[in-house]
């Protein structure tokens, strides 16, 4: 495998509803920032790939207008995944293995505020048998939380503690949407939205965008040296999917995350920082176990998806946040995780290391 590193990362501040800007307008400053921060000129970027999903905005081909905004003249080598930007990064990583290009731009955007997100996500489900019953994403996640509590794997209190820690950590994150000091008891006094989930167990609905630049070998070294940061080398990258049908899965487990963690080499050395894309509190608890993380690993110092959850973006933000810790020398070895689909159906794990 050719050595590939994240050399720069940029994100938009996540907000509940950006009424002034469309998706492209949210995205453009982020792309400009990430390219400038990489030290590369636009014409030296060998491959561009984006992640987004039309269903959020309710328009087809939303990536087409984004590409126009970002600029593609003279014509560029370019692709798009209808997925979180973390998978766009996986495609870029593959492309960089060929040896004929040295750098790639990955960007993603999502404006969840345009529709009613929990209902929009219903449309991910089996269109003939499940979606017509219209279970929303919070109710589906609640099934998993209930299964975990019933199995003795977590409690409503432990879940609230995750929310309190996430919001507290998010105070240090200028891009987060939801932050502050809360008490566990006060949160537990709130009513359930969909039992056992309370408002604090669920992610905020966010509009946002993010981008990273990848570079290979000496190009990455040169760029990072010039910018005074440590390259965040991708030492392991794997993603897996589980069946969607909730009836055939043991919702207290997440085999796809477990395999991805194994294949990415999580257990080879201690992990200093892990950025986990867990939209619901119980999912962080489940994922810590499936990813094989112990109490020595610092979890979600950014506040995670409980502090900002722009759909199709939050996964790439995890990679960017983890890479930034390595860039600054705050972590020697970091884990980034992304998820997609109901109840953690699809999972990606990326291991980033300094020199």
Partner 1 sequence: MGRWCAVVGVGQTRHAAKRGDLSMVGLVREAAIAALEDCDLSWKDVEALVIGKAPDMFEGVMQPELYLADALGAVGKPMIRVHTAGSVGGSTALVAAHLVQSGQFSRVLTVAFEKQSESEATWAITPKIPFQPPLVAGAGGYFAPIIRSYIQRSKAPADVGLRVAVKDRKNAMRNPFAHLHLPDIDIETVANSPLLWDPLHYLECCPSSDGACAMVLADEQAARKTPKKPAWVLGTAMKSEPTMFPGRNQINPRAGRECAASVYRQAGVRNPREDIDCAEIYVPFSWYEPMWMENLGFAPENEGWKMTLEGATAFDGDMPINPSGGVLSSNPIGASGMLRFAEAAMQVSGRAGEHQVSGAKLALGHAYGGGSQFFSMWMVGSEKR
Contact positions vs partner 1 (CB under 8 A): 1, 48, 53-55, 58-61, 63-65, 67-68, 71-83, 87, 90-91, 94-95, 97-100, 120-121, 123-128, 131, 238-245, 248, 255-256, 259, 340-342, 345-346
Tokens 């209902």 -> residue = 119
Q: Which of 314, 332, 323 is nearest to 5 (CA)?
A: 323
Tokens 């995350």 -> residue = 257
Which is nearer to partner 1, 75 or 174 (by Cβ)?
A: 75
CB atoms within 10 A of CB 105: 26
Question: Closest separation between CB of residue 242 and partner 1, Å?
Answer: 6
Question: Closest separation between CB of residue 3 and partner 1, Å?
Answer: 14
CA 169 to chain centre: 17
Question: Closest separation between CB of residue 274 and partner 1, Å?
Answer: 21
Question: Closest separation between CB of residue 220 and partner 1, Å?
Answer: 17
Question: Closest separation between CB of residue 255 and partner 1, Å?
Answer: 7
Q: Which of 249, 255, 307, 240 is nearest to 277 (CA)?
A: 307
Question: Degrees (nearest 5) of the Cα angle 126, 336, 222?
Answer: 130
Which is nearer to partner 1, 37 or 108 (by Cβ)?
A: 108
Q: What token pair was written down for 289?
A: 């176990």
Which is nearer to partner 1, 210 or 312 (by Cβ)?
A: 312
Which is nearer to partner 1, 98 or 157 (by Cβ)?
A: 98
Which is nearer to partner 1, 36 or 114 (by Cβ)?
A: 114
Q: What token pair was written down for 35?
A: 């390219």
Q: Is 100 exposed, middle or buried (0-12, 13-18, 19+ CB in 10 A)?
A: exposed
Question: Closest separation between CB of residue 57 and partner 1, Å?
Answer: 9
Per this entry, what is the length of the chain? 355
What residues pair up with 11 in beta bridges, in sequence order? 210
What's 203's DSSP letter?
P
Q: Is the peptide bond before 74 cis (omega within 30 degrees of 0)?
A: yes
The answer to whether the beta carbons of residues 92 and 45 sit under 8 Å apart is: no
Which is nearer to partner 1, 256 or 297 (by Cβ)?
A: 256
Which is nearer to partner 1, 76 or 143 (by Cβ)?
A: 76
CA atoms within 13 A of residue 350's CA, in its CB half-sphere: 31
Question: Closest separation between CB of residue 63 and partner 1, Å?
Answer: 7
């Amino acid at each position: 495998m050719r050595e590939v590193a994240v050399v720069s990362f940029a994100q938009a501040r996540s907000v509940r509803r950006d009424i002034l800007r469309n998706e492209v307008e949210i995205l453009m400053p982020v792309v400009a920032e990430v390219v400038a921060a990489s030290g590369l000129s636009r014409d030296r970027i060998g491959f561009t790939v984006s992640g987004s999903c039309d269903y959020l905005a309710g328009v087809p081909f939303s990536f087409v207008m984004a590409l126009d905004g970002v600029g593609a003249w003279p014509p560029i080598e370019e692709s798009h995944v209808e997925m979180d930007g973390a998978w766009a990064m996986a495609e870029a990583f593959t492309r960089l293995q060929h040896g004929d290009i040295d750098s790639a731009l990955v960007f993603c955007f999502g404006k969840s505020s345009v529709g009613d997100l929990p209902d929009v996500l219903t449309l991910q489900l089996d269109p003939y048998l499940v979606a017509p019953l219209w279970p929303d994403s919070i109710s589906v996640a609640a099934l998993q939380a209930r299964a975990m509590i019933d199995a003795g794997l977590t409690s409503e209190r432990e879940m609230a503690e995750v929310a309190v820690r996430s919001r507290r950590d998010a105070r240090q994150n200028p891009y987060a949407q939801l932050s502050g000091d809360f008490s566990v008891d006060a949160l537990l006094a709130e009513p359930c939205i969909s039992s056992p989930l309370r408002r604090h167990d669920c992610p905020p609905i966010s509009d946002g965008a993010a981008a990273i630049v990848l570079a290979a070998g000496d190009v990455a070294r040169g760029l990072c040296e010039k910018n005074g940061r440590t390259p965040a080398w991708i030492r392991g990258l794997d993603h897996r999917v589980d069946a969607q049908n909730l009836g055939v899965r043991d919702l207290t487990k997440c085999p796809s995350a477990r395999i991805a963690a194994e294949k990415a080499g999580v257990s080879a050395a201690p992990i200093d920082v892990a950025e986990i894309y867990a939209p619901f509190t119980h999912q962080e608890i489940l994922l810590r176990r499936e990813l094989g993380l112990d109490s020595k690993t610092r979890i979600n110092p950014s506040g995670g998806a409980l502090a900002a959850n722009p759909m199709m973006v939050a996964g790439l933000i995890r990679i960017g946040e983890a890479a930034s810790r390595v860039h600054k020398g705050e972590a020697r070895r970091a884990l980034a995780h992304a998820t997609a689909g109901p109840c953690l159906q699809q999972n990606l794990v990326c291991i980033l290391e300094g020199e």
